[in-house]
Chain A
Amino acid sequence: MKYMILVAETEKEFAMRNEAGTAAFEAFMAPWFAYSSALAQAGVILGGQALMGPETATTVRIRDGKRIVEDGPYADAKEQLGGFFVIDVPDADTARDWAAKAPTSSSGHTDLRKVMPFDGEA
């Protein structure tokens, strides 16, 4: 079964993206490297990406045939989507266990969504 783990980070965590090269950045990234490395060693990861901060977001809508473009940051939420992983695991409990282990589960929060299966895919 495929699941998407969506990690929601706090403003402070997003700010770390501009600290590359510092000790604070290394300390911030260490659990993320460990997490993705554990996903890889366990052989469950299919892919994933980290995202730049919400200020780089753009929302696009077409209304009445007109393109409406809004630059971020959108929706004034405390925690914003910071990245995602796609994993392939035997069941929902295992997926939940992995989601709980994401560093954001202790700082911001982590969402878990089941990927829609197509034609006999589990």
Chain B
Amino acid sequence: MPGDTQESHALAEGIARTSYGKLLAILSVRLRDVSAAEEALSAAFEQALKSWPGNGIPGNPEGWLVQVARNRGVDRLRRQTVRDRIEPALALLAEEAAETNPDELFTDDRLKLLFVCAHPAIDPAMHTPLMLQSVLGLDAARIGSAFLVSPSAMGQRLVRAKTKIRQAGISFEIPEREHLNERVEAVLAAIYAAYGTGWDGDHGADTGTAGLADEALFLGDLLCSLLPSAPEALGLMALMLYTTSRRDARRSTQGAYIPLDRQDTGRWNRSMISRAERLLIEAAAFDKPERYQLEAAIQSAHVKGRLAGRPNWPAIEMLYARLLELAPSLGAFVSHASALAQMGRHEDALARLEAVAGEAGTYQPYWAVRAYCLRQAGRNAEAGKAYDMAIGLSEDASVKAFLGGEKASLGHAG
């Protein structure tokens, strides 16, 4: 039965929105060329818009798109006279003959592509952006904004990186053990960046990244099953699960942000939490605590403290101190200072903050923690200024109001 035009267009649009990344990954691995895969895929979409309204929507539209794009890619490779094009073309034809359903391959393909993107021949700064585009289908504008680069500059860098993949003849296989570890780190960083981007988009209006956090969880899961003896892969998965378990509890029905210590723990996803706990224990057996395991352990301590009704600040403080040795960041410095302040060690906390004062700029948590510490230290005039900065840097009216109340009570204290 021929489908109507509107229905065909809606379906093609839906697939482009939800599955572009995975289709591109399948094709990139088949064609061994990300740029060629992009061209072939857009040609396939174009053909779908022409063909589906008249001929009807195929039973497996995604499979249809992959098939058409692959044929396009093969045609293009056949026309190439350069010697290095012949080999992939032959491999592709052999594969095509042997293969049945393209869908069966795609989980593996996305992982292969992740490792291709993390190849040492590619500029390390481009590993994550490249993965976000070729594996998850994010556009250059969105990636640019996540990396604070203009869309056109990001677009150019992505093109260069893809050319590099082709020219350097990078193998589209999951690397052997000895090369695996050096690339796992970049793969983990990309998955976490995707997760963070999806998380930010969660409460923003129309950022086009809804579902990205779920994609990251999916990839993290795959990575864990591929690399069950990589403790950091398990650590990252645990970290993402802890954060996701609180997804429903962190916003009120009116959409206001609810901090962890005031969340309704009944709305936490307990099965995610227990899975995260199990992963963290599995990871700990390797006795190689690194960044993601430490961050997950901090989450675990917060969750347990909250459930026990008594926060375990000494444990959290120790984990942050260790995290800072391995992966110093402004956020970790401020969190460490916050844990110290909660333990009553305000002078230590202020010294911690002093160390990053130069780069704190407009980072709101820095000013909020600084205000709290100065207040505890009895330095009210300075605390007032820090409160102003923290209030002025907040977007949320309820956060502004809370900090405003804290500042107002300074006057009465001294």
What residues make up the interface of A, taking CB atoms closer than 8 Å to B? 27, 30-31, 33-39, 41-42, 93, 97, 100-101, 103, 105-107
Nearest CB of B to A100, in Å: 5
Contact in complex: A38, B361 (CB < 8 Å): no
Tell yes or no: B145 within 8 A of A by CB: yes
A interface footprint on B382-414 (CB within 8 Å = 1, 0 otherwise): 000101111111111100110110011000000
**Residue on B nearest A34 in the bound complex, by CB:** B391
Q: State the CA gap A39–B391 with chains docked (Å).
A: 11
Contact in complex: B148, A93 (CB < 8 Å): yes
Residues of A within 8 A of B362 (CB): 38, 42, 97
Say whether, besides A27-B404, A30-B408, A103-B397, A36 and B145 are in contact (CB < 8 Å): no
Contact in complex: A36, B148 (CB < 8 Å): no
Residues of B within 8 A of A30 (CB): 391, 404, 407-408
Question: Which of A36, A38, A107 has most chain B Cβ within 10 Å?
Answer: A38
Residues of A within 8 A of B403 (CB): 34
**Known contacts A41-B385, A100-B395; can you find 15 more A-B pairs with CB under 8 A?**
A30-B404, A33-B388, A34-B387, A34-B391, A34-B407, A36-B392, A37-B388, A37-B389, A38-B389, A38-B393, A42-B362, A97-B362, A103-B400, A106-B395, A106-B396
Say whether, besides A31-B404, A106-B397, A41 and B148 are in contact (CB < 8 Å): no
- Point out the residue from A31, A37, A41 that lies within 8 Å of B400, measured CB to CB: A31
Q: State the CA gap A104–B408 with chains docked (Å).
A: 21
Say whether, besides A41-B385, A103-B397, A106-B397, A31 and B391 are in contact (CB < 8 Å): yes
Residues of B within 8 A of A37 (CB): 385, 388-389, 392
Residues of A within 8 A of B145 (CB): 93
Contact in complex: A101, B407 (CB < 8 Å): no
Nearest CB of A to B335, in Å: 21
Residues of A within 8 A of B404 (CB): 27, 30-31, 34
Nearest CB of A to B237, in Å: 31
Residues of B within 8 A of A27 (CB): 404
**Residue on B nearest A44 in the bound complex, by CB:** B362
Contact in complex: B389, A41 (CB < 8 Å): yes
Nearest CB of B to A16, in Å: 15
Interface of chain B residues 302 through 322 with chain A (CB within 8 A): none
3 shortest interchain CB distances as A-B pairs: A38-B392, A34-B391, A106-B397
- Point out the residue from A101, A105, A107 that lies within 8 Å of B393, measured CB to CB: A101
Residues of A within 8 A of B395 (CB): 100-101, 105-106
18 contacts between A and B (CB under 8 A): A30-B391, A30-B407, A31-B391, A31-B401, A33-B388, A34-B400, A34-B404, A37-B389, A38-B391, A38-B393, A41-B385, A41-B389, A42-B361, A42-B389, A93-B145, A100-B395, A103-B400, A106-B397
Nearest CB of B to A5, in Å: 12
Contact in complex: A38, B148 (CB < 8 Å): no
Residues of A within 8 A of B385 (CB): 37, 41
Q: State the CA gap A27–B407 with chains docked (Å).
A: 11
- Point out the residue from B361, B392, B397 that lies within 8 Å of A34, measured CB to CB: B392
Residues of A within 8 A of B400 (CB): 31, 34, 103, 106
**Residue on B nearest A97 in the bound complex, by CB:** B362
Nearest CB of A to B255, in Å: 11
Q: State the CA gap A37–B391 with chains docked (Å).
A: 10
Q: State the CA gap A33–B403 with chains docked (Å).
A: 13
Say whether, besides A31-B404, A93-B148, A101 and B388 are in contact (CB < 8 Å): no
**Residue on B nearest A101 in the bound complex, by CB:** B395
**Residue on B nearest A92 in the bound complex, by CB:** B150
Q: State the CA gap A119–B175 with chains docked (Å).
A: 54
Q: State the CA gap A107–B385 with chains docked (Å).
A: 24
Residues of B within 8 A of A101 (CB): 392-395
Residues of B within 8 A of A34 (CB): 387-392, 400, 403-404, 407
Interface of chain B residues 323 through 382 with chain A (CB within 8 A): 361-362
Contact in complex: A38, B388 (CB < 8 Å): yes
Residues of A within 8 A of B148 (CB): 93
**Residue on A nearest B396 in the bound complex, by CB:** A106
Q: State the CA gap A46–B334 with chains docked (Å).
A: 30
Q: State the CA gap A27–B388 with chains docked (Å).
A: 13
Nearest CB of B to A94, in Å: 8
**Residue on A nearest B400 in the bound complex, by CB:** A31
Nearest CB of A to B112, in Å: 34
Nearest CB of B to A43, in Å: 10
Residues of A within 8 A of B390 (CB): 34
Contact in complex: A39, B392 (CB < 8 Å): yes
Residues of B within 8 A of A35 (CB): 391-392
Q: State the CA gap A100–B361 with chains docked (Å).
A: 17
Residues of B within 8 A of A97 (CB): 362
**Residue on A nearest B361 in the bound complex, by CB:** A42
Nearest CB of A to B60, in Å: 41
Q: State the CA gap A103–B388 with chains docked (Å).
A: 13
